[in-house]
Every structure is written in structure tokens, then in C-alpha cells.
Structure 1
Amino acid sequence: MDLLERLITFFAENGYEAVFMALLLCGAGLPLPEDITLVAGGVIAGLGYANVHIMLAVTMVGVLVGDAGMFLLGHHYGTHILQWKPIAWLMPPRRYVKVQDQFARYGNRMMFFARFLPGMRTAIYTTAGATHRVGFWRFLLLDGAAALISVPIWVYLGYFGANRREWLGMWIQRGQNSLWLVAGVMLLVALLLWWRQRRRRSDAA
């Protein structure tokens, strides 16, 4: 909650522009949790420093611009951006080749669910652009559809919990745990699909 309090103070002093810029940094892969940033934006609206509906619009645009920026970096700079340390650590060359095939098969689903995977969004969006298997407008549509679910939840959670910090902290923790649960389930499904595919290949051989 220390980070949340610092963000609340910073956003209250600097307004919508600060929230927008912070979300761009989140999209760029900096170690600033997007969910906490969104909650902080909602809190300052709940405290009367901003209008919650304008805040929702600002955060939606900030999230989408940040995501689109990483996608376009991958699209235009391809393998060069994949050498960036945070991306290279998550997406080494061997995995990148496999991911290209996965985007061809499951591109729509990967783009949608990536928004709910903390710590993975930047690598997935950049790789999506680099593979050239996912068009920009399809990416933006799928990412926007997912953001329409996640962004209002976090912003309005902050808004309604602005004066109830213990309650807010409890729901932030529950929300983050739910995201990690979703990530775990998706990883398990991916492993099962990989195992089935490998078994089919071995049977065919």
C-alpha cells in the first residue's frame, strides 16, 4: 500500500497528465504495476481531485496508447526490440519461434487474455508486433475489449474505496490474486495443449 499512497499523492498534485504518463510507463514495461496505478487514479477521483468519468477515459486512452506503442515498436523494429533485456529474458529466440506459431493459431485469444497477465503484457504485445501475424487493428480491438473489462474495475474500485483504505487494500489483494490465478490456469492450459501436440507428433512418427 506504500506505493499506492505515493501514487495517490503524486496524482493528486499533478492531475490527469500524471496518471496518463504513468500508464505509458506501465505499457513500456517499467516495474510500475498497472492495477495499482489505475486504483490510484480512481482514489484521487473519490477524494475530489478529479472527475471519475474523465479519469476512466484518461486511463483507457493511457492503457491503449501504451499497449499500442509496444506493439508498434515490435512491428517496426522486429528482432531488434526482442534483444531488449526485459523482452529477451521473457522471449528467448527458441521461444520466439514457437510463439510465432502460437500467434498464427491462437492470436485472438492471446491478445485478449494478455491484458489479464501481470508482468507479461509488454513481452506479449511486443512479440505480437514482431511476428507480423497479428494486424494492428485486430490487436487494438482485442486489447480494447479486454481493457473495457479490467480498467473500469480498477478505477471504480479506487473511487469507491477512496475513504475506506482497509477495504480497498483487501479488494486490491483479492483482485491481484485472481489475476495470478487466471495466469496460472492459462499456463496450465498452454502446457496441456503443448503436451497433446507433442504426443500427436510422436504417435504420427
Structure 2
Amino acid sequence: MEFLIDFFSGYGYFAVFFVLLACGFGLPIPEDVTLVSGGVISGLGYTNVHIMLVVSMIGVLAGDSTMYWLGRIYGKKILRFRLIKPLVRGGRLSAVRKMFDKYGNRLLFTARFLPGLRAVVYLVSGITNRVNYARFVFVDFCAAIISVPIWVYLGDFGASNLDWVEEQMHKGQAIIYVILVAVIAFVAWKIYKMKKKKKVKINEAN
């Protein structure tokens, strides 16, 4: 995080936007660390935190949208691109496709909190054309407006104490994962109940 803070301090909003855009392509830099670092330089007086929030939101949505449109325009051909191959290795593509078939658009929302699969989910959503861009960006925005402000304002608030910020980040990440698991479990339970109810109706009809 110290490296990002130094980098952002020198180049401001543009640097934050650029790194977030690159994160959308699967750059191995945690998005939450990038957002917190952007908030830190605001707390140190290099930028305005509210403008930083807007820039961060635009950067996040632009990165995600780029992956969507790459999949939408090139289709499965994009999977042969050298920069894309590392994202879909290790069975990730197959796993995401199965998740998409099972959870549909709900996966788009939870993808914001799945760093290892986020870029692949957005890519597959474009390839399969299961969702139009208006709905994609709306769902992505609804997820981003939850996480992005939290990280940016956390960095701004604790700019003078990075150890405290890192401690809160770890706590926040743990809470997010617990909530995510709970949401996934709830959705799976609802789907199971719907299928069970449908099966009962079919049996009664017969």
C-alpha cells in the first residue's frame, strides 16, 4: 500500500483511475487496497476525498465495462488473447459459466466481492450476452456504491495512521466475506425451495 500511496501522491486522480482501470483487466493489485490508498492521499491533502470517490467509481465501472465489452465484441475469440489467458486458467472459466447458469444476474452483483473471479464474470457476461449493458452497469453500480465509498473514506479518515487502516481493512474484508457467504447460502436455499415447490406441483398435476 505504501508504494501505491507514493505513486498516487505524485500523479493524483489520474493514477488512481488508471490503476483501477487496470484492476478491471485482472491486474494482481487488490482493488480495495487501491481505493484505500486513494483515500489516504486525500486525507494527506493531495486530493479532495469527494472528487476521489467520483473518480474511483468511474474507474471501477470503466474497468468492469471494458471486460464486458471485450467479451461482447470478440466473443469466445477473446479467450485466445495473450493478456486474457491468465484470467481463465485453472478451470475459472468453466466454474464461472456454471455459476452463471445457476445464479444468473445475481452473480454480477456478488462478483464485485470476488477478486479472483470478478474479471472472468464480467468477461463471460459479455461473451454469453445473457445481460444487456444497461442492466450490467446498473447492477455493477449498485454493488460498487456499497464497497467503493467504504474503502475511500476509510483511507481518508485514517490517513495519519496506516497501521490502523490496515487493521480495519482486514476486519472489513472478513465482514464482507461473511456477508457474501450468507447471501450465497440464502440464494441457494431460495432456489432449492422454488425447485422443490415446482416439483411438488408437477407431481400433483400428474
Amino acid at match of 1:47: L
**2:101 corresponds to:** 101
The residue number in structure 2 matching 1:10 is 7
Structure 1 position 78, deviation (Å): 1.8
**1:117 CA drift (Å):** 1.9
**Deviation at residue 172 of structure 1 after TM alignment:** 0.7
Q: Give the alignment partner of residue 51 of structure 1, picking from 36, 48, 51.
A: 48
Contact kept? 1:91, 1:123, Cα under 8 Å:
yes
Compute the RMSD of aligned alpha carbons. Answer: 2.7
State the 1:90 CA deviation.
4.5
CA–CA distance in structure 2, aligned partners of residues 26 and 97 of structure 1: 21
> Are residues 119 and 11 of structure 1, via their aligned partners in 2, closer, same or farther at CA, if it must alter by over 3 Å?
same
Q: Which aligned pairs between 1:119-158 and structure 2 lie closer than 5 A?
A: 119-158=116-155
Distance in 2 between the 1:145 and 1:39 partners?
Answer: 19
Deviation at 1:12, TM superposition (A): 0.2
SS class of match (1:58): helix
Alignment match, 1:27: 24
Is the 8 Å Cα contact of residues 82 and 127 (structure 1) preserved in structure 2? no
Cα pair distance change 1:29/1:8, threshold 3 Å: same
Identity %, equivalent residues:
45
Counterpart of 1:69?
66
Q: Does the residue aligned with 1:89 lie in a helix, a strand or coil?
A: coil
TM-score of the two chains, using structure 1 as the length reference: 0.83
Paired position in structure 2 for 1:164: 161
Provide, for residues 122-163 of structure 1, a one-character-per-residue CA deviation record: whole Å limited to 9, x for no partner: 111111111111111100001011111111110000000001
Whole-angstrom distance in 2 between the partners of 1:91 and 1:169: 29
How far apart, CA to CA, are the structure 1 residues paired with 2:177 and 2:184?
Answer: 10
Alpha-carbon distance in structure 2 between the residues aligned to 1:97 and 1:197: 22
Aligned residues: 198
| TM-aligned CA distance change 1:27 to 1:159, over 3 Å | same
- CA displacement, residues 39-60 of structure 1 (integer Å, 9 cap, x when unaligned): 0000000000001111111101
* Maintained 8 Å contact 1:82/1:91: no
Partner of 2:176: 179
The Cα shift of 1:28 comes to 0.5
Bigger radius of gyration among the two = 2
Do the aligned partners of 1:118 and 1:179 also contact (CA within 8 Å) in 2? no
Partner of 2:92: 91
Answer whether contact 2:93 2:120 (CA < 8 A) is retained.
no
Gaps of 5+ in 2: none
Instruction: State the Cα distance separating 1:190 from its structure 2 match.
Output: 6.8
Q: Please state how far the C-alpha of 1:65 moved relative to its aligned partner.
A: 0.2
